Amino acid sequence: MMPALQRLALPVLGFAVLLIAWEIAGRIAGPALLAPPSSVAVEYVGLLRQGEMLRELGVSLRQMAVGFIAACVIGMPLGAVMGRSAVADAIFRPWVSMFVVTSTAALIPLFILFLGTGLMLRVTIVFLASVWYITLTTYNGARGISPQQIAVARSFSASPLQIFWKVILPALYPYLLTGARIGIVHAIRAMVLAEMFVIIGYGALMHRSGLSLDTGQLLGLLITLMIVSLFFNWVLGAAGRWLAPWYDLQRVTA
Amino acid sequence: MISQSEPSNAAVSGAAPGAEPLLSRAFRDKRLLSIASVLFVIALWQWGAGHVSGFLLPPPADVLDRFLDPKWLSRLMGALGQSLVQLGLGFGLTLLVAVPLGVIIGRSVILTRMFGPVINAVYAIPPVAFVPFLIVWFGLFLEARVALVFLMSVFDVLVLMIAGARDVRGSLVDVGRSFGASHRQRLRLIVLPALLPFFFAALRVGSARAINGMITAELFFAAVNLGAIMKRATQNFDSATVLAVVILVCVLGLIAQSAITLLERRVLHWHVRAA
């Protein structure tokens, strides 16, 4: 419906419009308010060379992974059980809908009292920020499995275990991956939130460049976060297409 | 999230009171089970708090005491009122900007292709990371808080509205065109009603994000309102007060969600929402 050239040219044009607007705004505002992309690019090379940014990022991501994996390990089975059992649904749903609307930021002062400001705090905050989205997405997927599919498996005398492995789990793949995609976005947000709150790691780097009015460096740090977030999204999307090519991931809504 | 009442079920259990043990009745009426689950955890918490050191995990009775203290409650409600002002300003600004912009971008294939990737890229940046910027631009007070509420909710609403505007089926618009509807009529009578479900989804997601932004802003800029109450209580190791504020924010979120869902049911009675 649209020539390939146009399909490629339009996003490029969109980014060009953004960069030009930003460059003009940056030139007018000055580097203390908004560094233009031309000087951010120079800063960015410096940030990469200096190594501190990537080092801190690595540490932060490893800590985030602990919280995120714990959220997957707990959220995915919980969502699946809630989706398949009305009793589990009734027991856990009030808690899940309560926690999912609770702001992560509001929980940080509370958990500082419980856990101090160390590693456990950051892992817990990441876990709490992502687990409910993973649970709810899996829950919606598990609820949506058509009863006919299970009836067919049962009439071929599949055992409950076989039904789980051969029918329910494959039907859940796209939801598990969508849940992980939504979860990782929230995990990255929570990581930055917690680190900026207690001023440590990558968050401390951003805090420092903000205090010294070094907007070039600050924008560089933001761009790295953006790349990390887009990368994880792309990896999980690709994993979804590979694991469950029969589903179009775009149509799975949370 | 509000479960619909089931008159037939209630009639059955009402017909033979006490004939059935409470437990098995609870397993049939799922709402009873939900209430039991909440009560059970609160009881467990009260019991657990008695066995753990007091200031770590305050017992629920202590948290309730906070709400029953009229002096504290009036301070809390005053702070909440101030917080709601910035929430209203920020989220109002989001709706004012993101809803029309989303419809304009989503209705045009060229604009969607042009700006879709840009919006997704900027959306991928955690909004809290903009806090140092907002301090540079807007200072530490109301303007900065409103800006954070706006920033935290605007992309969610924008993305949903673009998705909605793209989703309006061309065949519907074609029917309108073949019945001689003008461009304006097609927009008002076909496109906008078809967008309403997405608008409500955007309201639900956006309001949750905006409330999140509200409390984040009060903790990250100069601590004011609810944020100030939390910060001071944290310094005094008064976890019951901190928990009381967390519960208030949580209830605010639940009320917003239910209110929007209720409004959606009234306005969109013709539309069956997918579970």
Mean pLDDT across the stretch B133-160?
92
Q: B170 is written with which tokens?
A: 């061309």
pLDDT of residue B16: 44
Q: pLDDT per residue over B57-103, tens digit each?
A: 788 888 888 888 888 889 899 999 999 999 999 999 999 999 999 99
Residue of A nearest to B31 (CA): A90
pLDDT above 90 coverage of chain A, percent? 36
- For residue A143, the chain B residue with the least C-alpha distance is B275
Element (DSSP H or E) covering residue A235: helix A215-243
Across A142-159, average pLDDT: 86
Q: Which helix (H) or strand (E) holds B91?
A: helix B70-107
Task: Please identify among residues 160-189 of chain B the ones whose CB lies closer than 8 Å to any CB of chain A.
Answer: none
Contact B275 A108 (CB under 8 A): no
The dotted CATH code for B60-267 is 1.10.3720.10
Q: Which domains does chain A have, with CATH numbers?
A: 15-22+36-251 (1.10.3720.10)
Whole-number pLDDT of residue B49: 77
What is the sign, positive or negative, of the torsion defined by CA atoms of A197, B254, B256, A134? positive
ipTM of predicted complex: 0.85
With CA atoms as reference, the chain B residue closest to A144 would be B275
pLDDT at B58: 81
| Region for residue A157 given its phi and psi (left: phi exceeds 0; alpha: psi -120 to 50; beta: otherwise) | left
CB of B195 closer than 8 Å to CB of B103 = yes
What DSSP string describes B237-257? T-HHHHHHHHHHHHHHHHHHH
Give the pLDDT score at B25. 65
Contacts of A211 in chain B (CB under 8 A): 132
Domain ranges of chain B: 7-51, 60-267
Q: Which pLDDT band holds residue A150 (cuts at 50, 70, 90)? A: confident
% pLDDT > 70, chain B: 86
Asked if the C-beta of B273 comes within 8 angstroms of chain A's C-beta atoms, the answer is no
Token pair in block for residue B69? 């203290």
A52-84 and A201-211 are packed helices; what angle lies between their axes, rounded to 10 degrees? Answer: 130
